[in-house]
Amino acid sequence: MLWIVITVAVIVGVIAVDQISKLLVLAWLYEDQVVLIKGVLNFTYVENRGMAFGLFSDHRWVFLITSTVGIALIGFYLFRFVKRPLSRVSLALIVGGGIGNMIDRVRLGFVVDFIDFCAFDFWMWVFNVADAAVCVGAALFVLDVLLEMLADAKKAKAAAPAPEAQDSEGGDG
């Protein structure tokens, strides 16, 4: 049962860090930008009214409904079926991030984004702690599934009977 406490702590921790960071951004950074590491990292206030990376901006209720269903399904799967520790942590990160962004959508009508990683020209998106938790959680989940597949393949290979030695005479009799 310790795993339940740890899983809930990860979810609550992600939500708390996400919401506290957004409250600080709303209080101190509203419609402004702070350069943290020139040419690499800024804090830039953005109101994201869409889904990931601002896509599909005018569909708030669609995101609320799909987020609720998605979080509920992942939560059910997490607490009912998942046994591997890395999968538990990864799904807890996803659930915590999803709830963090849902709180913004309900409370503000948009998601507060502020982490502006500008080191690469191809990267143009501003994100938040909840987004980072979801992405890291998804990557860790994929990693854990791959590790489980490799372990299962090794077990299957070890359990397979060794090929029979060929008769050196090659005949039947």
- Tell me if 14 sits within 8 A of 96, measured CB to CB: yes
Q: Helices (H) and strands (E) in the chain — how many of each?
A: 4, 4
Distance of CA 168 to CAs 132, 163, 165, Å? 62, 15, 9
131 is catalytic: yes
127, 115 contact by CB (below 8 A): yes
Token match 């990267």: residue? 123
Kindly name the residue from 18, 113, 116, 144 that is annotated as catalytic: 113
- Cβ atoms of 145 and 95 within 8 Å: the answer is no
DSSP code of residue 76: H
Task: Based on the residue annotation, tell me whether 116 is a catalytic residue of this protein.
Answer: no
Tell me how far apart the alpha carbons of residues 150 and 153 are, in angstroms, rounded to a whole number.
5
Q: Which of 18, 104, 116, 131 is catalytic?
A: 131
Q: Which residues are catalytic?
A: 113, 131
